[in-house]
Amino acid sequence: MRVVSLVPSLTEAVAATDPSVLVGATDWCEQPPGLDVTRVRGTKNPDLAAVTALRPDIVLANEEENREPDLAALRAEGITVLVTEIRTLPQSLTELERALVEGCRLPRPGWLDDAADAWRQAERAFDADAVVPIWRKPWMVLGRDTFAGDLLARLGVRNVWAGHDERYPRIDRDRLAEGADLVVLPDEPYAFHATDGPEAFPGLPAALVSGRHLTWYGPSLTEAPAVLTAALEAAVPRRKR
């Protein structure tokens, strides 16, 4: 098999299962470190000629990360494109198995079971209503039906904008924290950090979290419950037992 991945999460998932099948990935595919494959630009602007030249048996994509016109152009070249749709934890495990086993013809990896076990054992340790910004200038937040929102809910953190009509709405600055007693600031896609983000929410505790563990679906799911819980615990107390 010759696999090109246009999604960083899926690139890491393939590399953790059998790196020998991976021949191409985007410039943003930074996991695992030192991955030695042909780079095909970004998720939103892939070099389609470079992808085609790699003669892939399959291209892995995601309905949220990649543009349909690019995927249609690859299909027009006779290339098989597998598009994942991932908005919940259970869906992520199902779609990862589909991409790896059905799409890449690999054995089902043990880390998928490890990820399922880690989340099965995860404690709903918190009781908080949070705003979760993902961008600044303009401010954008997690809205309805998102994978990251589902992970946070499993730890006891409710997204105050989960009822919004849009999945990633732009919100006026003066309304951002309506109903929130916590702000969760991931370090991607916008790189929020201790001096860029918390100051915009005076009076609210801020949890600085790993974007990879909050938004990626792949081997990072095995660590995510512990990593996210530790980051949240640094900002808010656990639920009383």
Residue 96 belongs to a domain with what CATH number?
A: 3.40.50.1980
76 shares its domain with 37: yes
160 shares its domain with 80: no
Asked if 207 and 231 count as a contact pair (C-beta separation under 8 A), the reply is yes
11 shares its domain with 103: yes
Indicate whether 115 belongs to any domain.
no
128 shares its domain with 90: no
Tell me the pTM: 0.94
79 shares its domain with 127: no
Indicate whether 39 belongs to any domain.
yes
Indicate whether 118 belongs to any domain.
no
49 shares its domain with 132: no
201 shares its domain with 227: yes
CA atoms within 13 A on the CB side of 48: 17
Indicate whether 239 belongs to any domain.
no
55 shares its domain with 104: yes
Asked if 62 and 13 count as a contact pair (C-beta separation under 8 A), the reply is no
Asked if 84 and 63 count as a contact pair (C-beta separation under 8 A), the reply is yes
The domain of 22 spans 3-108
Indicate whether 16 belongs to any domain.
yes
Torsion over CA: 61, 63, 67, 72 (sign): positive
Per-residue pLDDT 10s for the chain (241 aa) are 999 999 999 999 999 999 999 999 999 999 999 999 999 999 999 999 999 999 999 999 999 999 999 999 999 999 999 999 999 999 999 999 999 999 999 999 999 999 999 999 999 999 999 999 999 999 999 999 999 999 999 999 999 999 999 999 999 999 999 999 999 999 999 999 999 999 999 999 999 999 999 999 999 999 999 999 999 999 999 986 5
| Domain total of the chain | 2
How many residues appear in the chain? 241
| pLDDT at res. 239 | 84
Instruction: Using the CB atoms, write b or e for 35-61: b if 16+ within 10 Å.
Output: eebeebeebeebbbeebbebebbbbbb
Indicate whether 88 belongs to any domain.
yes
Indicate whether 241 belongs to any domain.
no
103 shares its domain with 132: no
Tokens representing residue 72 in the block: 């249609």
209 shares its domain with 144: yes
| The last residue of a domain, from among 108, 133, 159 | 108
Indicate whether 60 belongs to any domain.
yes
| pLDDT at res. 22 | 98
| The last residue of a domain, from among 60, 83, 108 | 108
